[in-house]
Structure 1
Amino acid sequence: MLKTFVFACLFLVISQACNTNKSTSEQTKTPIRKEFLYGVWWLDSVSNGALNSEALCITRDDQFHIFSHSTGNELVSYGCYKNQKLFNQYDMEYPVISLDSDQLVIRDEYNQTTCYYQKSIHKNVEKELAESMDNHRLRGQLLGWWKFNGPSEDTKPDPYIKPEFYNKPFAWYIREDGRAEVFEHFNTANPLLFNYLVTDKTLNIREGCLVTFVHILTVSENKLTVAVPHDTISLERITRFN
């Protein structure tokens, strides 16, 4: 009698677990309306606690692009959406789940993390994608070492602008990880370290709450011309600063 009761309880528990797993599986496989996916999505949080800033663009041709603001507006992933999954440029697949009308969950089973995205209702995805691609290309041109030999004799220092950007000789190192190093007077002992973001032909250099906007006028393989308050300066590309 007791054995019968125990087996009956085990059967109920196993049946319930199977039903729960089936329900969960069916929920994740519920088709997502494509019109819901189209748009610009901002990374809200990651299950592993990583502090990343990303924008996900999904267009009506079922293509997606992910841009990392943490690394200066870099295109970090792209591909297509099909069968409720994102397939990136390396044919890696990421299941997509919708929580509600403005929340998207993407499961990264390779790194055992879950990314939660919030939809931006004020962004036009085609315009955002075009601007982000321009920013990504400009970022690529800016990467590396740049040298400024100092302001012209008729340039007056501006006390309201951080002097290392154009009031004295310096070298810049624009890194791929979203950081920029500034070497005042070419002094390698104490470099200044900043975050940067490329937006709308502008290099936004950030130190805490302070942001300095450096407007990019022209950039070529060996020369960079930028506009700063009250002046225009030119930097030359160098292989490395020693």
Structure 2
Amino acid sequence: MSYQRLVIVYLLIFILAQAVFAAFPGIDLAVSRLFAAEGGGFTWATEPGPTINLTLRRLGEIVTLILILAYLVGLFDSRFRGDDLRLVAYPVLSVALASGVIVNLLLKHHVGRARPDTVAEFGGTADFSPAWQVVQECSRNCSFTSGEVALAAGLALPILAILWPHLTRRGARPLAIGAAVGYIALVALLRIGLGRHFLSDAVFSVLFGAGAALALYPVLRIDAARRHLPLLAARRTRPQSGERRGVH
């Protein structure tokens, strides 16, 4: 699929998500209710849910930090080309744009949506509000949207895009898609199950991560840069054992 078609598909999905949650805001309560405990709270808020959630969060943060360090090292290493630096910067900038700027800097501090575990329907005192509705039910670090889901999507989707042309073995692409989607979905499911985010928080965070990856793709010229991925290119050009022995 061409880049232009991907952008069109993305916009259609975004519009559809917005229309669905605007027309049926009760979807958020219905999904969260599946994880709610009797008498208030959420069943997944007890172990091992929080530990798994923290492990996945730290994993995303560590990978992002490693990429940042790799970029800084590359700036002072002549063996790194411009293509290499752009490939390393791609997921880092996607995470920064999606999770850092859009979610944490803009939306969380201005929308004011209460988290599921604080609304009256699940034992709290705050009022439920639909996605995108600006309210004053939360003063800081609010529910809309999820920074952790945006981080997961902003990290996994660019890495998938970088590796895509090199996944030529049979079954490699479905496996890579499954790994990326599974990672993002697990992070989103945990945030919902722990009562920290509504379904719409997770959905729009995934869309923000995908949008950041799409927006940065042409800016960083990833299509050209990813064709010369050093490690995978070396594996494809490495002579086979028979060739090294002169067997033809």
Flag whether TM exceeds 0.5 (same fold). Answer: no
- Indicate the TM-score class for this superposition, using the shorter chain for normalisation: under 0.3
TM-score by length of 1: 0.20
| Structure number with bigger Rg | 1
